[in-house]
Structure 1
C-alpha cells in the first residue's frame, strides 16, 4: 500500500494537496532532507513524511469521506509496522486527522497521547503595511550574531518555555545569518525585532522566528518587519505563509492586521 516518493514527486503539486498546501507547508521542507522518510499511497491521497528524530507530518486528502479517511489512516498504521523504526515521538496533522492517527497508533502500542500545540496557518496575498512605524529593514550580518542569539533565546523561552543561556544559541545565530534569509528591524541603529524566510517551494515561502525584544514591544516593529518581508516574497511570485500559536491571540491579531488570512489549523500531538 505504501510507496516511497522523491522530493520532486508530482503528488506535491496535485490539485488535492494544493487545497491544503499552506496548512501542510512544512511537508515541502521535510521532503528536501536527504534522510527524510517519504511515504505515500498508490492513489496519492495520503502523505506521511518525517525528518529523522522528529514527529512525522501526515496529510490525508480532504476529498475523502470520513470513513475512507479513517480506514486509510488505519491501513497506514498497519503498514508502518513493517518499517525498521516506527516508534515515533508524535504526529503533526490537521487536528481531526492527528487525533485519528494518535488514537489508533497509541492503542496498538499501549501508549498515551496529548495535544502539545495547536497552530493556525496563514497566507498573505495582499499586504497592509502599518503606517507611522519608525525604523528600517536590514539583512542580518555577522556583526548582529550576538543580538540574534539573544533574540533566539527569548523566542525559545516565549514560544516553547525553554531556558538556555544566550551562548547556547550562538551557533544557530551564525548559521541563520549565513543563509542570507534573516532580517532585522532597526530603530536608531539598534536591532529591535527579527524574522526570517525559511523555505521556498514552487508556490509558497514560509516566514518564522518572528520576535520583538520585550522592551520594544507594542510599537508595531514586528508587524512592519513581517509586512516588508511579505512584499519581498510576493514580488518573487510566491505567497508568504506562516504559523501562529492558537493560544496567542495577540500574535494572531497582528498577522491578520497586516493581511494574513487563516488557512487551516494544525495539531502537534505527542506520544508518551
Structure 2
C-alpha cells in the first residue's frame, strides 16, 4: 500500500535515497512544487513523485529492493494510475521495463521508451582548454539570440522545428531568472548554459548549447566548467542529465570532470489506441 508524504519529509534527505539523488535529482524539484504527489511504501524502499499529471512521474527504488516490494510496486503503480489518460514516468532501466510491461498488460495500452538518460555529477573540475571570451549572465538585450539558441536546442534534442519567435517568451523567462549564462567572444554569443535547479546538496545544469559553426572548439566545455567552479565554490555539487543518443556530449562532460551516476529510462504510454 502506498503512503503519501509531504515534501519536507526526511526520506528525501536520508540514505538510501541520497545514494541515488543525482540519478533522481528531479525528485527534489517535485518536492518543492505547490501540491506534489509523493508516495512511498511501508519499507520506504520506493518513492513515487510527480508535480502534476502532465509532467513525468519519477519512481525511485532502492538498489536492494526485495521481490515482494517490486510486486507491491507494480500493483500499486497500476492502481495509482488506473484512471489517467496520460502517463509518462522515469525509473531505473530495469524497473521502468517491469512497470511498463505490467501496466501495459493490465490496461492494454502500448508504451514506448521515449528517453534514456545518464546522470552525472562533477565533484571537481578538470580545467578546460583555454578559449577566448568571458562568462556572463544573459540580459534582456540578449533575448533575440537566446531565442535562436533555444530553437536550435529544441531541434538538436527533440528533432522539433520551432522558430525563434516561438521561443522568445521562453528566452525572456530564462533571462529573468538570472540563472542563464552565456559565453561571449568578441561581442558574439557562442554558448549558453542554464542553472535549472538549486537543491540542498546539488545544482542541476541544463540547456547547454553552442552555435553549430563553433562546436568542437571547446566553448561548450568552457562554459560548463566555469559554471561548475561557481557551484563548487558554494559547496554544492554540479549535476546534469545527458541523452544517451548523444555520446559526444557525454564524452565532453567527462572531459570537464563529470562522472556517471546511473542511467534512467523514460516510458510513455499511448492512450489513443489499445495495445495488442
- 183, 186, 205: which one aligns with 2:184: 186
- TM-score, with length taken from structure 1: 0.95
Q: 1:224 Cα shift?
A: 0.4
Give the secondary structure class of the aligned counterpart of 2:12: helix
Distance 1:69 1:99, change over 3 A: farther
Q: 1:35 Cα shift?
A: 3.2
Q: 1:30 Cα shift?
A: 1.6
C-alpha distance after superposition, 1:58-107 (max 9, x if no partner): 11111223x2342132232254157xx54442221111111111111111
Q: Which residue of the partner structure matches residue 168 of structure 1?
A: 166
Q: Which residue of the partner structure matches residue 64 of structure 1?
A: 65
Q: Which residue of the partner structure matches residue 49 of structure 1?
A: 49
Q: Which moved more, 1:227-236 or 1:47-56?
A: 47-56
Q: 1:263 Cα shift?
A: 0.2
Matched, 1:12 2:12: yes
- The separation in 2 between residues aligned to 1:234 and 1:223, in whole angstroms, is 16
Paired residues for 1:123-134 under 5 Å: 123-134=121-132
C-alpha distance after superposition, 1:17-76 (max 9, x if no partner): 0111100001111221113222222332211111321221111111223x2342132232
- TM-score, with length taken from structure 2: 0.93
- The separation in 2 between residues aligned to 1:81 and 1:164, in whole angstroms, is 32
- 223, 235, 238: which one aligns with 1:237: 235
- The separation in 1 between residues aligned to 2:248 and 2:84, in whole angstroms, is 38
Give ranges in structure 2 of 5+ residues lacking alignment: 271-276
8 Å contact from structure 2 (residues 150, 171) kept in 1: yes
Distance 1:217 1:134, change over 3 A: same
8 Å contact from structure 1 (residues 91, 102) kept in 2: no
8 Å contact from structure 1 (residues 60, 69) kept in 2: no
Q: Which moved more, 1:222-231 or 1:36-45?
A: 36-45
Stretches (4+) displaced over 4 A: none
- The separation in 2 between residues aligned to 1:19 and 1:69, in whole angstroms, is 19
8 Å contact from structure 2 (residues 78, 103) kept in 1: no
Q: 1:131 Cα shift?
A: 2.3
Distance 1:4 1:87, change over 3 A: farther
Give the secondary structure class of the aligned counterpart of 2:116: strand
Q: Which residue of the partner structure matches residue 137 of structure 1?
A: 135
Q: Which residue of the partner structure matches residue 73 of structure 1?
A: 73
